[in-house]
């Protein structure tokens, strides 16, 4: 198989075209495998969009193509609700929503409460770890500032 990226003989447009051919072929295989499963098909479509974004950014790092990549990312973001609601729209392998529904949750309370408690605990853990990381970054910046101040003072003393 020929290399996809990094061939010095090919211009940038040809590299993008070659990469796109490989991505489309991979996506076709994945969509064939997900036949009958709407959620898997939608997920694989998003995977193809993400791969296309990565290909654009890696192959051509110019401003017009970065704008194109940003537009493609917005198109991919539009697909997120489609993935979420595909389970309700097409009745395939997955059960419909059982927690966040208009008629209230249908999940048994003996499973709902532990689920909600653990989801809350995970969220609190995330916030705690994020705050710890922020504090560590603040301390790191203070140390860096003190080091730079000491270097400047030493330079002034020597001069």
d(CA 72, CA 10): 24
So what's the pLDDT on residue 4?
45
So what's the pLDDT on residue 8?
52
Map residue 108 onto helix, strand or coil. coil
Q: For 21-59, write each residue's pLDDT tens digit.
A: 777 777 777 767 766 676 677 777 777 777 777 776 666
Q: Which residue has the higher pLDDT, 115 or 11?
A: 115
Are 84 and 46 contacting, i.e. CB atoms less than 8 angstroms apart? no
Element (H, E) at 6: none
Residue 61 DSSP symbol: -
Give the percent of the chain with pLDDT over 70. 69
Are 62 and 15 contacting, i.e. CB atoms less than 8 angstroms apart? no
Are 5 and 59 contacting, i.e. CB atoms less than 8 angstroms apart? yes
> Which phi and psi angles does 55 have, rounded to 5°?
-65, -45
- In order of 48, 74, 80, 85, 88, the CA distances from 39 in angstroms are 14, 20, 11, 9, 10
Are 42 and 82 contacting, i.e. CB atoms less than 8 angstroms apart? yes
> Which phi and psi angles does 36 have, rounded to 5°?
90, -10
Q: Which residue has the higher pLDDT, 148 or 74?
A: 148
Judged against a pLDDT cut of 90, whether residue 75 lies above it is answered with no
Judged against a pLDDT cut of 90, whether residue 117 lies above it is answered with yes
């Amino acid at each position: 198989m020929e290399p996809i990226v990094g061939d010095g003989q090919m211009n940038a447009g040809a590299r993008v075209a070659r990469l796109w051919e490989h991505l489309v072929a991979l996506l076709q295989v994945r969509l064939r495998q997900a036949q009958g499963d709407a959620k898997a098909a939608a997920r694989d479509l998003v995977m193809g969009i993400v791969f296309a974004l990565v290909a654009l950014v890696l192959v051509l790092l110019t401003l017009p193509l970065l704008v194109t990549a940003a537009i493609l990312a917005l198109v991919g973001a539009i697909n997120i609700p489609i993935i979420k609601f595909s389970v309700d729209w097409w009745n395939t392998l997955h059960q419909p929503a059982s927690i966040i529904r208009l008629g209230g949750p249908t999940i048994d309370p003996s499973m709902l409460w532990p689920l909600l408690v653990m989801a809350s605990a995970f969220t609190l853990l995330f916030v705690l770890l994020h705050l710890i990381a922020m504090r560590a970054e603040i301390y790191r910046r203070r140390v860096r500032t003190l080091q730079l101040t000491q270097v400047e003072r030493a330079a002034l003393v020597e001069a």
